[in-house]
Amino acid sequence: MEVASTVAEMRAIRRAFTGDVGFVPTLGYLHDGHFSLVRAAKEQNEHTVASIFVNPTQFNSPDDFERYPRDDEGDLAQLRGQGVDAVFMPSAGEMYSYDPLTSVDVGEITERLEGEHRPGHFRGVATVVAKLLNVVQPTRAYFGRKDAQQLVVIRRMVRDLHMGVEIVAMTTIREADGLAMSSRNARLSAAEREAALVLSKALRLAAQRWQGGERSGARIRDELQALISGEQRARVDYVSVADTETLEELDSIEGEVLVSLAVHIGEVRLIDNITLPSQMKELL
């Protein structure tokens, strides 16, 4: 497995590849959710590249950036064991080696949900993903559905800018008790870890209410808000029942709908979501 720390090194590795290239961009501190993306990339492409880069421009708080868990050596060992061909592992100085004037703004879909609570977050995400796609030049790039709004934003950016890469969305990987896997879970205490189950419980309630015939977005939002508010360690940023492409809140549900949550458990902010009805079986 080759490890590139500079843009020039990664481009040289990419030029040597023949055939399709699958790309898995990550912030590191890898878990089984990331490895499910790696396995899909290996199955569908001749070559697989991963990146490890904790992107400072997508964090709203310097403290959150500093607290983000890191294990570079462990990550590299696991990616080597997964049979990844190359890892792009740049420094912040390499990715932002001068004061850039260019950024990527994907418009109004970045202003809702996460964007409302984390101003500038998606400008940082879209810009760094555009940079990574430009450097790696993959055939396909793999993203988990847990970051649902990120997936919507990246798909729109790739389509609008004619980037020519296929964006592959993969199922959220969950622990046995339903908690969505996340690198941030490592920061939860035992009691907070138990409290965090309220997110998947709320999504399960949404699936049950939809299955039972409920089509009022307002009623589903209210019921989920009430359930989460009953957990004393939880503080809600948002509960959303929205269109899967525009992310506009829905009063009346017709067709598929994205139900998403952002909840603070102690000092750790967690997100989760489900698309109804297509992902209903994942939680029922």
pLDDT in tens, 75-117: 999 999 999 999 999 999 999 988 888 999 999 999 999 999 9
The pLDDT assigned to 60 comes to: 81
Q: Among residues 117, 146, 170, which one ends one of the domains?
A: 170
For residues 37 and 118, state if they share a domain: yes
Structural domain contains residue 177:
no
The pLDDT assigned to 64 comes to: 84
Whole domain around residue 91: which residue ranges? 2-170
Output the CA–CA distances (angstroms, integers) from residue 134 to 15, 106, 138, 141, 238, in the order listed. 13, 17, 8, 12, 33
The pLDDT assigned to 67 comes to: 86
Q: Which residues carry out catalysis?
A: 34
The pLDDT assigned to 155 comes to: 97
Which two structure tokens, joined as six digits, stand for 219? 């009623």
State the Cα–Cα distance between residues 48 and 46, nearest whole angstrom.
7
The pLDDT assigned to 177 comes to: 94
- Residue (of 221, 269, 250, 238) closest to 113 by Cα position: 238
How many domains are there within the chain? 2
For residues 141 and 250, state if they share a domain: no
How would you classify residue 83: left for phi > 0, otherwise alpha for psi between -120 and 50, otherwise beta?
Answer: left
The pLDDT assigned to 139 comes to: 98
Which residue is it, tokens 């399709």? Answer: 20
Largest CA distance in the chain: 56
For residues 124 and 204, state if they share a domain: no
The pLDDT assigned to 281 comes to: 85
In the chain, which residues have pLDDT < 70? none
For residues 115 and 193, state if they share a domain: no
Q: Among residues 170, 191, 213, which one ends one of the domains?
A: 170
State the Cα–Cα distance between residues 218 and 253, nearest whole angstrom.
10
State the Cα–Cα distance between residues 81 and 180, nearest whole angstrom.
23
The pLDDT assigned to 250 comes to: 96
Output the CA–CA distances (angstroms, integers) from residue 215 to 25, 65, 210, 243, 273, in the order listed. 36, 39, 7, 13, 17
For residues 193 and 143, state if they share a domain: no
Q: What is the pTM of this model?
A: 0.94
